[in-house]
């Protein structure tokens, strides 16, 4: 298992959390997603390391931004 923590810009509420979670869960190999709206972070557990481009595409599909600089 691999855990990645990503900074996501633009989330403000539970709806944001749901949209981001649903999109990231569609990435092959993802086993869990935990969104912290207050800290602007998403913790993703996966079977193997994820390609940042896939994570960025999922976040953007949800309507938010994954900045170039990550925690």
Q: Identify the band that residue 69 occupies on the pLDDT scale cut at 50, 70 and 90.
A: confident
Reported pTM: 0.92
Residue 66 pLDDT: 94
Count of structural domains within the chain: 1
Range of 22's domain? Answer: 2-62
Provide the CATH number for the domain around residue 43.
3.30.70.100
Higher pLDDT pick, 71 / 32: 32
Q: In this predicted model, what pLDDT tens digit does every residue of 3-55 receive, in sequence order? A: 999 999 999 999 999 999 999 999 999 999 999 999 999 999 999 999 999 99
Q: What is the dihedral of CA 42, 40, 35, 70, to 10 degrees?
A: 0
In a domain, 48, yes or no: yes
In a domain, 30, yes or no: yes
Q: Under the phi-then-psi rule, with left for phi > 0, alpha for psi from -120 to 50, and beta for the rest, what region is 3?
A: beta
């Amino acid at each position: 298992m691999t855990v990645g923590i990503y900074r996501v810009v633009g989330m403000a509420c539970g709806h944001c959390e749901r949209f981001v979670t649903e999109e990231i869960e569609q990435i092959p190999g993802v086993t869990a997603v935990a969104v912290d709206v207050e800290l602007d972070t998403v913790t993703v557990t996966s079977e193997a390391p994820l390609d940042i481009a896939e994570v960025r595409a999922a976040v953007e599909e949800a309507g938010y931004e994954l900045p170039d600089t990550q925690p």
